[in-house]
Each structure stands twice: as structure tokens, then as C-alpha cells.
Amino acid sequence: MAEIEQYSAHIPVLRDQFVEAMFSDPDGCYVDCTFGRGGHSRELLAKLSAKGRLLAIDRDPEAIIVGQKLAAEDERFSIEHSDFGALGALLDVRGWYKVSGIGFDLGVSSPQVDDATRGFSFRHSGPLDMRMDSSQGKSLLQLLEHVSERDLIEILRKYGDERYAQRIARAILKAQHASLLATTAELENICFHAVPKKARYGTTHPATRTFQALRIWVNDEMGQIDHAIEAAIDHLQDAGQLAVISFHSGEDRRIRDLIESHVHACICPPQMPICVCGKKPTMRWLQKKPLRASEQELETNPRSRSSMLRVAQRLSEQEGLKLSGYSGVSA
Ligand SMILES: C[S@@+](CC[C@H](N)C(=O)[O-])C[C@H]1O[C@@H](n2cnc3c(N)ncnc32)[C@H](O)[C@@H]1O
């Protein structure tokens, strides 16, 4: 625990805006899918009445220890050690079929990045792990043993928008086959030398995108998001609110598209004069254009620089029908 406290500083990003976006009813049930060190959870608890309830989730055992301490102090709060991909099952088991608000603050926390032994950062050398829950799944080093060059290039392109994906992937696998790759410092060095000289000294370190892409791959972050956003929408009560903070464009696009498919649910071809699919919208945007951190927040928390908050609200059945203009009679 002493060690956890040593790394426990995490300044919650867009704290007031995120909590405001999730919150509607002081007596409601809420879910914070990414507890971290509980900055958002604590702020939400401050808004709840004695009847209100908050369930938090995190896949990181260290976050769970902090959350259990909070649960012992506040009976309105509980925490589950789980992937948020299992959100639907976690809520169903509790009988929380419809809740007032659900929030996600995606990515990694500062304590995870700052602890070199977790292997997330190229600023502090550590083992090539990158798992948010190191008790499960395979570490980065283990995954690299079996990945093909083609797949690795695809991972760097898809999750990191890495322009030099081919050069970096080749260099990584060459070092790995020669047993010259075991630490984040070695990986950083490989990325640095794999990119052309002109790309080595820009504003972003040449290893940044590769580290981001590999972390997303190791933790199946996109698969988790797909499952969780669908489950969240399914478990929101009418007028319940969904708030999502993401930190890079690929993640944000995924969130936008998943929510948008519930805002514009009709799948009829555009040439159809009227809707015959009968699919009705179930969500409306409250914040479609991502909200970003203010200059003031950026000054105190540089990590908020790339944060983007999107907010949507669950529609009632009647609102969905009205918006779709669907008569209920097939053409
Ligand atoms: C940015 S931090 C959240 C910080 C938190 N809002 C706070 O105020 O302290 C993201 C947290 O989400 C957790 N996380 C990321 N992906 C997850 C997933 N698929 N399932 C469960 N937890 C996840 C990470 O372990 C990390 O603790």
C-alpha cells in the first residue's frame, strides 16, 4: 500500500465537466467504468444523496486497492476488479438493468505511467509489459514473440497512425529475434533509430505513437470499448447520460461512430423515400463536438492536452419514434 500511495497522484481530467455530464439525479445509480485513483468517483459521490449509489470498475489491481479503501468509508460506493468490457454482465448481476449515468475516462492513469515496473513509459526504463492488469493476459514481450511483421505494421498504423510503421516494425522484430529487446528503454532506442533523421527531433518523441499503439494492442482497448459502449447504452434509463473522455483520435472516432449508430439508427439505403427498417434512434448527442480542456486546466495538468469529452443521452421509446418519423407501419 505504501508503494501504491507513492505513485497515487492522478489529477482527474475535465473533472467538473465529466461529472456534470454523467449526473442528473442525486438518488440515482451511476457507474464509473475507469476508477483510476477515484478523482471522478469522489466528485460524483459528493453530489449524491444518501440513497444514491456508485459502482466503479477498474482492471488494475492497484486501483482496486485504493477503491476498496473508499468503499470501506462510504457505503454508497462499491468497486469491481474487472474489464469494463464485462459491464453488461456486472450490471445485470446486481439487478442494475437501468442506471442514471455511466462514465469512461479512457487510457492509463498517471500512477500506471509513472511506475517504471509497469512498462508503459519510455521515459523510465522498465520491462516490456504494458498490461493494465498484469495478473492476466500476455505481456508485450510475450506477444512480440509471436506477431508477424505484417500484423505489427498494421497495429502501429491502426492504433498509432504511425507514418514509419514498416521501418519501426522491422526494427522491433529484428531486435527481438536477436534477443536485444527486453526493456522500454531499448524499445525507445529502436524507434528513435528506425525513423529517418529528420523525424527524430520533432515536438513528439519518435517512440510516442508506437508505445500508444502497442499499449492499445496489449490491452485490447478497442475491443473493450466496443463491448462497453453497447452495454452502457443498453443499460441507461430514459434521459440517462453517457460521458466518455478519450485521449487520441482513433479512440475518439470509435466512440463517435458507436454512439452515432444509435443517434442515426436507420439502416435503409439513402434512396428509400421512407424508412422501412424500423430502427429507431435510442440516443441523442448532448456534446457531439468533443469538449476540450481549458487553457487554465492545461496549465495545471498538461496531461489534459489531448483529452476529448463526448456526451450523449438515452432517448425514451416515444422520443425515438418521434425522431424517426416511423409510423410503425411497414411500407
Ligand atoms: C485515465 S485513468 C482514470 C482516472 C480516474 N478517472 C481518476 O480520476 O482517477 C484510466 C483507468 O481506467 C482503467 N482502465 C482502462 N481500460 C480499462 C478497461 N478496459 N477495463 C477496466 N479498467 C480500465 C485503467 O486501469 C486506469 O486506472
Please tell me whether residues 316 and 230 are part of one structural domain: yes
Q: Is residue 125 part of a domain?
A: no
Q: Is residue 61 part of a domain?
A: yes
Other C-beta atoms closer than 10 Å to the C-beta of 11 total 15
DSSP state of 34: -
CATH code assigned at 312: 3.40.50.150
Other C-beta atoms closer than 10 Å to the C-beta of 72 total 9
Last residue of a domain, one of 163, 189, 218: 218
Q: Residue-wise pLDDT tens for the chain (331 aa)?
A: 444 444 458 899 999 999 999 999 999 999 999 999 999 999 999 999 999 999 999 999 999 999 999 999 999 999 999 999 999 999 999 999 999 999 999 999 999 999 999 999 998 899 999 999 999 999 999 999 999 999 999 999 999 999 999 999 999 999 999 999 999 999 999 999 999 999 999 888 999 999 999 999 999 999 999 999 999 999 999 999 999 999 999 999 999 999 999 999 898 898 888 888 888 999 999 999 999 999 999 999 988 999 999 999 999 999 998 888 654 444 4
Last residue of a domain, one of 176, 191, 218: 218
CATH code assigned at 187: 1.10.150.170
Check if the beta carbon of residue 283 is closer than 8 Å to that of residue 262: yes
Q: Is residue 238 part of a domain?
A: yes
Q: Is the CB of 38 inside a 6 Å radius of any atom of ligand 1?
A: yes
Gap from CA of 59 to ligand 1 centroid (Å): 7
Please tell me whether residues 212 and 292 are part of one structural domain: no
Q: Which domain holds residue 275?
A: 2-110+221-324
- The structural domain count of the chain equals 2
Q: Is residue 174 part of a domain?
A: yes
Q: Is residue 316 part of a domain?
A: yes
Q: Is residue 274 part of a domain?
A: yes
Atom of ligand 1 nearest to the CA of 225: 19
Q: Is the CB of 115 inside a 6 Å radius of any atom of ligand 1?
A: no
What are the cell numbers at 322?
418521434
Q: Is the CB of 8 inside a 6 Å radius of any atom of ligand 1?
A: no
Q: Is the CB of 28 inside a 6 Å radius of any atom of ligand 1?
A: no
Q: Is the CB of 109 inside a 6 Å radius of any atom of ligand 1?
A: yes
Please tell me whether residues 77 and 142 are part of one structural domain: no
Cα four-point dihedral sign 20, 26, 30, 33: positive
Question: Half-sphere exposure of 230 toward its Cβ, with a 13 Å CA cutoff?
Answer: 8
CA gap 311, 286 in Å, rounded: 5
Give, for ligand 1, the residue of 82, 132, 244 to mutate: max count of ligand atoms closer than 8 Å to Cβ: 132
Q: Please state the length of the chain.
A: 331
Question: How would DSSP label each residue in 60-85?
Answer: -HHHHHHHHHHHHH-TTEEEEES-GG
Residue linked to cell 450490471:
91
Q: Is residue 331 part of a domain?
A: no
Q: Is the CB of 40 inside a 6 Å radius of any atom of ligand 1?
A: yes
Q: Is residue 91 part of a domain?
A: yes
Last residue of a domain, one of 169, 194, 218: 218
